[in-house]
Amino acid sequence: MAEHYYSKNPIVKSDPKEWQAILRNTRLRFKTDAGVFSKREVDFGSRLLAESFVMPIVAGAVLDVGCGYGPIGLSIAASFPDRNVHMVDVNERAMALANENAKLNNIGNVSIYSSDALSAVEAEGFAAILTNPPIRAGKETVFKIYDGAFSKLAVGGELWVVIQKKQGAPSTMAHLTQIFGNVETVEKKKGYFILKAQKTLT
- Distance, CA of 28 to CA of 139 (rounded, Å): 32
- pLDDT at residue number 129: 98
pLDDT computed for residue 40 by the predictor: 59
Of 148 and 7, more confident: 148
Q: Model confidence over 94-111: pLDDT tens digits? A: 899 999 999 999 999 999
Give the span between the Cα atoms of 152 and 127, in whole angstroms: 9
For the chain, what are the domain ranges? 17-198
- Judge whether residue 52 has pLDDT over 60: yes
Of all residues in the chain, the percent with pLDDT exceeding 70 is: 90
Mean pLDDT of the chain: 90
Q: What is the pLDDT of residues 60-84, one digit of tens each?
A: 999 999 999 999 999 999 999 999 9
pLDDT at 42: 87
114 vs 88: CA distance, rounded Å? 5
Beta bridge partners of 193: 163, 188
With 0-12 / 13-18 / 19 or more C-beta atoms within 10 angstroms meaning exposed / middle / buried, residue 73 is: buried
What DSSP string runs through 70-98? SHHHHHHHHH-TTS-EEEEES-HHHHHHH
- pLDDT band (50, 70, 90) for residue 13: low
The tens digit of pLDDT for each residue in 153-202 reads 999 999 999 999 888 899 999 999 999 999 999 999 999 999 999 999 86
Distance of alpha carbon 71 from alpha carbon 54, whole angstroms: 16
- Provide mean pLDDT across the span 21-34: 91
Query: Quick one: DSSP state of residue 14?
Result: P
| Overall size of the chain counted in residues | 202
Helix, strand, or coil (residue 46): helix
Examine the pLDDT at 6 and tell me if it is beyond 80: no
* pLDDT confidence band for 3 (50 / 70 / 90): very low
Domain 17-198: state its class: alpha beta
